[in-house]
Amino acid sequence: MFIILFGAPGVGKGTQAALMVERNNLPHFSTGDALRQAKAEQTPDGLLAAQYADRGELAPDEVIMRIVEQTLNKPAFARGALLDGFPRNLYQAGELDTILAKRNQSVDRVINIKVDEAVITKRLIERGRPDDKPDIIANRFKVYRESTEPVLNYYDGRGVTCEVDGDADVETVYNRINANIQ
């Protein structure tokens, strides 16, 4: 199964992904984590992407697609994946479809986790990652609304999208997500 965990910055995608990996045995792939790792390893893509992340902008699509192709080609991802932070714009969504179509696969579920912007801004500031500063957070939300939210419409009509209220404790949100992937 290919499942996309979708939602604004800070809605809890990473937290829920960790639980799903543990309990549902799905390989997890977070483009954000992959970019932070690449930055730590000081690869050219990692250093380039960090310049964008530090401003709350999306990293270049070519960098993202290189990482995505490499990752999805690994045997661990042959039969499915839990995608977190990808696709983040319409171009990436189209490229993902192309990659999966070549493998006779497709996106099975898009789980849209929803939480009020005021609540997640507070969560992010408490988390305190370098890109969790108020003005950068505001830009990430703007980019989310402009570039990422339209991805939901892209999947409309395929019967794969569902919405989950993410303003609850971690277990409750997990149960809500799980109810949508049975």
Is residue 29 a contact point for ligand ADP (CB under 6 A)? no
Catalytic residue among 13, 39, 109, 176, which? 13
Is residue 3 a contact point for ligand ADP (CB under 6 A)? no
Q: In whole angstroms, what is the distance from residue 41 CA to residue 167 CA?
A: 35
Phi-psi region of 117 (alpha: psi -120 to 50; beta: other; left: phi over 0): alpha
Let me know if 66 is a catalytic residue: no
Q: Which stretch binds ligand ADP (CB under 6 A): 37-45, 48-56, 69-77, 100-108?
A: 48-56
Sheet holding 81-84, edge to edge: 28-30, 81-84, 2-6, 109-114, 161-165
Phi, psi of 97 (to 5 degrees): -60, -40
Is residue 91 a contact point for ligand ADP (CB under 6 A)? no
User: Side chain identity at 136, as an amino acid letter?
Assistant: I
Is residue 64 a contact point for ligand ADP (CB under 6 A)? yes
Catalytic residue among 36, 109, 140, 176, which? 140
Burial 93-108 (b: 16+ CB within 10 A, else e): bebbbeebeeeebebe
CB of 52 to ligand ADP, least distance (A): 5
* Structure-block tokens of residue 75: 């045997």
- Nearer Cβ to ligand ADP (26/136): 136
Helix, strand, coil percentages for the chain (3-state, nearest 5): 55, 15, 30
Q: From the list 2, 4, 6, 10, which residue makes contact with ligand ADP (rule: CB under 6 A)?
A: 10
Q: From the list 20, 28, 31, 96, which residue makes contact with ligand ADP (rule: CB under 6 A)?
A: 31
For the annotated catalytic residues, the residue numbers are: 13, 88, 127, 129, 140
Residues making contact with ligand ADP (CB under 6 A) = 9-10, 31-32, 35, 52-53, 56-59, 64, 85-86, 88, 92, 131, 140
